[in-house]
Amino acid sequence: MKQLIAALFLCAPLTFAGGAPFSVEAREDVSADFPGAPRLHSFAFAQWQGKWVFIGGRTNGYHSVGGGPAEFMRADANDQVWVIDTTVHPARTYHAPVADLPASHVAVKDQWIASAFSRIQVGDKLYIAGGYGQDHTGSWVTHALLSVVSIPALVEGVMHGKVPPESVRFLETPWVQSAGGGLIKIPGGNFYLVMGHVFTGSYTAFEGNAEENTKHASQIYLEEVRELKITEGEEIAVELLQRFHDSEFHRRDLNVVPLYSPKGAGFAAYGGVFTPRTQLNYTKPVYMVPGQGLFVDSIFEQKMHSYSTARLLLYDKAKATMYTTFFGGISRNFWDAYAKAFVEYPTHGDRNAAVYLDGLQWNDQISSLARGMNESDGKTVEWVHAAELPAYLGTDGFFIPRDDLAEVDPGTQILDLGPLRGKRTLVGYLYGGIRAFPYRFPYDKSAQPYNAGTIPSKASESILNVYLTVPGE
């Protein structure tokens, strides 16, 4: 192991003049304030007038890790729709079974117990696209379904013990078939389905055939971004407007987030897996910026947070800068505070070796990216916050912002940094996701790591307060 440590790669980050623009911490567990809250990861989420809504996702740990099954078993799927009313203290939790939907909604019933959806909330509607899981016939599929959910109607129904069928409209279409991608709506514009893959069949069968496609189990990356027009009249319609291809779009389990600029809203895609030759992560961000279109940032290399995780979004109007903060998750690097450098996690061996490290490790750090959004200042800077998470959390979890904080523009889901300047603010909560235990006894970084694929994990039971401290002018 000492030889592995000696081979680690160090790289110094870009820095800010005068120090980082803010700091983030998330250590205070307030799950006792949310009795009955479900333990989930990889779910679809919405919030409405102080109510939190959870659909789908998983109740167990990371698949094929720590001796668990590689399959996404239906028995481990979240089969309830959950509503948490945070307007009272302690919060009150309600749930209703997806199975109560009528037979006419069988496609929705299958999708809503899947995971790795693409989802976006637009006003009082939640759009859920795709997702992977075991359907009512026992087959593992990536769903070709778009669900459009009336959040107020769903909340009202679940709080009275049922999932009302009139709260969801749906359409089967191949244009939304994806798992591990992202769905974004540009305010005043169209939807974008961003990357992901279509997996069909058993993960065990796929791995047993050296991850080569067969008629029984196959994986096909979308390798594209699709611009979609969704029309909601008497019937829902989805029209494909454009398809954008690039070799950098061969990604799944990435972070797709809204973006803001002086010219309006766009989106960004960060990280994702797996690179075809090395089976590692992608490091070049992908941006859709008004006036600049869709492009890959070929200059910047993202060090931290390679996999889907919880994200906090902020925009500073005074400096025309977009900030994206990532919590824990799975990373190619970690930040060594003593060396003041990013350090790559080692790769070693293969699945049949006594020591197998795949280079993508569970991480307990919080990092941020700053992106200048003026056309003359398209530079990205990355830094890691001093406060670590209390455990290896974040993967496939969710940052839930306080709904009384100002957004930079209504509907963008991006908080305005300006009103938060000069103080420490509770900005929201880190909810759910996977908790991993990547190191052997005594279970800290001084111990030997578990081999990749054998790391114990479970759905996190924590709900952490997230604090943001922004220096004054």
Amino acid 378: pLDDT: 80
> pLDDT for 23-75, tens place per residue?
999 999 999 999 999 999 999 999 999 999 999 999 998 875 555 567 788 88
Same domain for 57 and 170, yes or no, is yes
* Percent residues over pLDDT 90 in the chain: 85
> Looking at the structure, do residues 62 and 7 belong to the same domain, yes or no?
no
63 shares its domain with 174: yes
Shared domain for 385 and 282, answered yes or no, is yes
Residues 429 and 371 in one domain: yes
Residues 271 and 205 in one domain: no
Q: Which of 184, 219, 253 is the endpoint of a domain?
A: 253
Q: Are residues 221 and 353 in the same domain?
A: no
**Residues 117-175 pLDDT 10s:** 999 999 999 999 999 999 999 999 999 999 999 999 999 999 999 999 999 999 999 99
pLDDT 10s digits, 235-280: 999 999 999 999 999 999 999 999 999 999 999 999 999 999 999 9
Whether residue 232 is found in the same domain as residue 334: no
Confidence of residue 405 (pLDDT cuts 50, 70, 90): very high
Quick one: 21 and 50 in the same domain?
no
Write down which residue in 253, 280, 297 finishes a domain. 253
Structural domain that includes position 412: 1-33+260-473
Q: Does residue 7 register a pLDDT over 60?
A: no
Q: Is the peptide bond before 442 cis (omega within 30 degrees of 0)?
A: yes
Last residue of a domain, one of 234, 253, 272: 253
Residue 173 to residue 304: CA distance in whole angstroms: 35
**Do 214 and 286 fall into the same domain?**
no
**Whole-prediction pTM:** 0.95
pLDDT of residue 8: 36
pLDDT at 12: 43
Record the tokens describing residue 254, joined without a space: 């990435």
Are 209 and 349 in a shared domain? no
Same domain, yes or no: 218 and 273: no
pLDDT in tens, 190-207: 999 999 999 999 888 888
Terminal Cα-to-Cα distance of the chain (whole angstroms): 47
Q: How many domains does the chain have?
A: 2
